[in-house]
Amino acid sequence: MPEVRVSYSGQAYSPAGEKSRYALPPLFRKAVKEASGGNRVLCLDKHPKWKCLVGFGLNREDELQQQLDREYDAALNAGREFDYDERSSQLFGFEKVPFDDSGRFVMPAFLTKVGNVDGGLFFRGGGRFFTIWNPIELGRMGDEWEAAKAACDALIADYESKKK
């Protein structure tokens, strides 16, 4: 796939649908489709550090391969051991999930578990990827997440007021 530079920014809330169905918010849907070469494919994985998921388009595959090669070269140059297969498995273990024109997709069961997905989801841009949070998990993050927490709370309140 030719290199497509996409930057994910902003935030959105998506309420839970039936049968583990969610909707990729329009703000992110357009960028993911562009990053996936016009295909409606969302790549999802567990964030390596935080209790949330990450999402991105297919264009990130080349970037991840470059990252793997850089890490391998750095380990080799430093005389450290490097398990190429293990690291490759960690980087490329993401799930490719199709979504429809409205952004609806089915959350894979294993990601529901590792991301503690339960109810609505908060989406937050992160540049090369975006994070997908259970608002309760986001609330457990430290003070450095104050702006994200405030945005999440405001989006949920807005959703609840429109629902009434």
Q: 11-163, which class in CATH? A: alpha beta
- Segment 137-145 long-range contacts (CB within 8 Å, at least 24 positions apart): 137/50, 137/51, 137/52, 138/52, 140/51, 141/50
pTM, whole model, 2 decimals?
A: 0.87
Task: Measure the CA–CA gap between 10 and 125, rounded to whole angstroms.
Answer: 5
Strand, helix or coil at 96?
A: strand
Query: pLDDT tens across 28-61, in order?
Result: 999 999 999 999 999 999 999 999 999 999 998 8
First CA to last CA distance, the chain = 45
Side-chain-side CA neighbours of residue 45 (13 Å): 16
CB 87 within 8 A of CB 48: no
Element (H, E) at 99: none
Strand partners, 121: 14
Please enumerate in sequence order all residues whose Cβ is within 8 A of that of 90, keeping only pairs 6 or more positions apart, or say none.
48
List the chain domain ranges. 11-163
Check: CB of residue 28 under 8 Å from CB of residue 53: no
Assess whether pLDDT exceeds 60 at residue 145: yes
Rounded Cα gap, residues 32 and 117, in angstroms: 21
CA atoms lying within 13 Å on the CB side of residue 8: 28
The pLDDT score that the predictor gives to residue 64 is 82
Pull the structure tokens for residue 162.
């429109």
**Rounded percentage of the chain residues whose pLDDT exceeds 90:** 74
Q: How confident is the model at residue 114 (pLDDT cuts 50, 70, 90)?
A: very high
